[in-house]
Every structure is written in structure tokens, then in C-alpha cells.
Amino acid sequence: MSRPDATAGTDDSTDSADEPLISLENVEVHFEKEQGLLDLFEEPDVVRAVDGVSLDIQENDVLVLVGESGCGKTTLGKTMIGLQRPTGGSVKYRGRDIWETKAGNTDLSFDEIRSSLQIIHQDPGSSLNPNRRIVEILSEPIRLTHPGVSAGERRERIYSLLERVGMTPAHDFADRYPHQLSGGEKQRVALSRALLMNPDVILADEAISALDVSLRVEMMDLMLDLQDDFNTSFVFVSHDLSNARYFAEHGDGRVGVMYLGNLVEVGPAERLISEPQHPYTEVLRWATPNLALDATEAGEPPMRKIDIPDPINPPSGCRFHTRCPKARTACPKEQPELETHGDRHLVACFRSDEDHEYWDSPEIED
Ligand SMILES: Nc1ncnc2c1ncn2[C@@H]1O[C@H](COP(=O)(O)OP(=O)(O)OP(=O)(O)O)[C@@H](O)[C@H]1O
């Protein structure tokens, strides 16, 4: 079993070519809340960070996860790349269950999965060793993936990658320590380090949120350019729908909207923003000033309540029903599944099924 080698620029994918790169089936991640001394004899509270998510990621794919704080974006992203163990369902890499592989129960080595699935964080500084020069930080992944490469060749590869990510003159940046770089430069180093592992997927977890607004588009463009060069998929996590739209649109990918641990709508950015099918996607669009389409959208939020429900005790049925202006009495009864709604577009709302009992049930009023 082998993967494309981005450094060599070849694609030698083999036996599992028909399998999605990553496949999630009915994934749930529930966290037990820490107990206080007085609660020791009580059942612990459980935060339902991710519930019932099924989704595939293909080679060279772009998926952007968007939603309000605490909806489970980071947890889902980390679960996709094997950094978070799901409490239910399965996560497969090229057809092999990641956690079965970790237990030694498949024909793949877990190290191979770990190096194929990389992450860059919001704060790249925290993941770069402050005592090592950039050239040393970037040498490590090459040593791991290409142990036979000489020190001179390693240096050459590092210089050319630094130039590729816009850090010129490369020899100057290579000899600096992380604290001698700006936030944007640190993020470029973190991205370079991830790319040098020849990853199949990079999880960019709010990777541009800490950058100056003026640098965000530049960084997104760079990631997308490198995606082509390195034949990598991106899972891009953002709380901002306009960044989500930019990344998904320019990467020809999909936006996945999350609400309280559920994926409620997935689709191409343009379609999702111009014709949102889920009432929560409409809320996100309303809350993103440069995306509100006309003056009528600028007024009251398209929601009955502002407060986010507690993820320890989420609403029954459709979790958005307590805030949804279109909720009817059918909505709390069962959870809507993500169903196809046109090309590459999925939505979890009873309103997209014209035969659903929703249409005959009365509106929920406060
Ligand atoms: N290790 C953990 N232990 C307990 N609860 C956790 C843990 N990690 C996340 N959670 C909880 O799970 C829920 C989802 O968190 P997560 O960080 O995935 O959301 P998010 O959408 O990425 O939020 P943000 O945009 O604020 O980073 C939250 O209620 C959070 O408090």
C-alpha cells in the first residue's frame, strides 16, 4: 500500500483507489464532563460534540466546516484525521478503520496514517519548537519521510519550499528562530512542515483566523495553490462564512454547515449561499454582513431565539427547532437525515421533502 509522494511529484496510489480517502460513518464524539467532588455519585454530564455524521473525503478534495463556536467543527476535523477517537461509528482511511489500524488489526501501519493526515493550528507559534531554527524544524519531516536524503539535498528542498511559500530570501528565513517570524510567516512554516510529510489531508483548524484581515485571502490562495502542487485534500475549519465561501469556491469544494454537533447542510459554496436550504444556513448568511443578499435580510435575525441550547442536553428531533422560525410540531419528533438535494448538495431539514408530515403539522409558536 503506498501513497502519492508529493516531494517526488508522482501518484502511485494502488489497491484501494476506489475507496474514499476518508470515510466517516455515523460518527459520534461524546465527552464526559469532569465531575466536581459533590457530583461523584451522579452520572457524569455528557457533551454531545459530534453526532451521527457520515461523510466522505476524496483525493484532492476541499471541505470547509463552518458554524458557531462550540458546534463541534474542531472535534469533527480532529476525528477525521485520527487525532480524536470517536465514541461511536467509524472513521476509515482508504478503507481501513483508523482505530483498528492503531490497534494493529489491519494491513496498514498507523504511522503511515498519522503522517498522511496533518494539522495546522490557529496559533502556529505553539507548535513550532522555539529553540530550533526553521531549517531544523523543516528538516525533521524530510528525515522521517525520506531518510536517505543527504543534508545538502534537504537544505535545497527546504529553500525551494520556503521560496514557494513566499519566504525569500530563503536562506535568511531558514536560519531564523520562530520568534523572529511574523504570525503569517509562522503559519507558512507550519504549512510547509505539514506538506513535507506528503500528506493526503491537511486539517487547517481556524488557520487564518489569527492573521490580519489583509493576509487572510493571501494565505487561503497559497494553501489552494499548494494543494494543486502537492495533491493534497484540505479540511478547512472556520467560524466565518465569507472565508468558508472563499476557500470552498476557489478550491472547487464543499461547505459543511454544523449545528450543535450535527452536519445540517453540505454543498458547493455558491449554491449554499445563494439558495440555502437549511434555516440555520440562512442565519449564518444573515450574520455575515458581506453575504446578506438584500436589505430585507439586514433587519431581525431569521431566528426565534438567540440563545444556543446546551450541548449536554440538546433539543430532541431537529436540534435547531427551538430557534427555527419555520419549526412545526413535527420537528422535535425525529432527527432529519442529510438527504440529497440536487448535485453535491445535502440538507437535513424536513422541508426539503414535500411529502413529509411536517407540511401538515402546525407551526410551533412561542
Ligand atoms: N476534550 C474535551 N472535553 C470535554 N468537552 C470538549 C472537549 N473538546 C471539546 N469539547 C466540547 O465539545 C463541544 C464542541 O467543541 P469544538 O471545539 O469541537 O467546537 P468548535 O465548533 O470547534 O468551537 P470553536 O469555534 O469555539 O473552536 C463544545 O461544547 C466543547 O466545550
Q: Where are the domains of the chain?
A: 23-34+44-131+177-360
ipTM: 0.97
Pairwise pLDDT comparison (302 vs 137), residue with the higher score: 137
- Ligand 1 atom with the shortest distance to the CA of 71: 21
Residue 58 has pLDDT above 70, yes or no: yes
Residue 205 has pLDDT above 90, yes or no: yes
- Ligand 1 neighbour 74 (Cβ under 6 A): yes
- Number of H helices and E strands in the chain, helices first, is 11, 12
Q: Are 256 and 266 in contact (CB under 8 A)?
A: yes
- Compute, in angstroms, the gap from residue 134 CA to the centroid of ligand 1: 31
Bridge partners (DSSP) listed for residue 64: 236, 255
Report pLDDT for 297.
Answer: 54
Q: Tell me the pLDDT tens digit for each residue of 298-335.
A: 577 788 887 889 989 999 999 999 999 999 999 999 99
Report pLDDT for 294.
Answer: 57
Q: Tell me the pLDDT tens digit for each residue of 167-194.
A: 999 999 999 999 999 999 999 999 999 9
Instruction: Categorize the per-residue pLDDT at 252 as very low, low, confident or very high, splitting at 50, 70 and 90.
Output: very high
* Average pLDDT estimate for 248-259: 96
Report pLDDT for 12.
Answer: 38
Residue 256 has pLDDT above 80, yes or no: yes
- Ligand 1 neighbour 75 (Cβ under 6 A): yes
- Ligand 1 neighbour 47 (Cβ under 6 A): yes
- Ligand 1 neighbour 49 (Cβ under 6 A): yes
Q: Report the nearest-CA residue for atom 17 of ligand 1.
A: 74
* Average pLDDT estimate for 158-165: 95
Q: Report the nearest-CA residue for atom 1 of ligand 1.
A: 31
Q: Report the nearest-CA residue for atom 24 of ligand 1.
A: 69
Q: Compute the distance between CA of residue 65 and CA of residue 76 in angstroms, rounded to an integer.
A: 9
Choose which residue among 30, 34, 47, 239 to substitute to test ligand 1 binding: the one with the highest number of ligand atoms within 8 A of its C-beta: 47
In a 13 Å sphere around the CA of 217, the CA atoms on its Cβ side amount to 7
How does the average pLDDT of the chain come out, rounded? 89
Pairwise pLDDT comparison (292 vs 314), residue with the higher score: 314
Report pLDDT for 290.
Answer: 74
Report pLDDT for 306.
Answer: 77
Whole-structure pTM value: 0.91
Sign of CA dihedral 49, 52, 53, 56: positive
Cα–Cα distance list, 55 to 7, 50, 264 (Å):
29, 13, 12
Choose which residue among 33, 75, 79 to substitute to test ligand 1 binding: the one with the highest number of ligand atoms within 8 A of its C-beta: 75
Fold of 23-34+44-131+177-360: Rossmann fold (3.40.50)
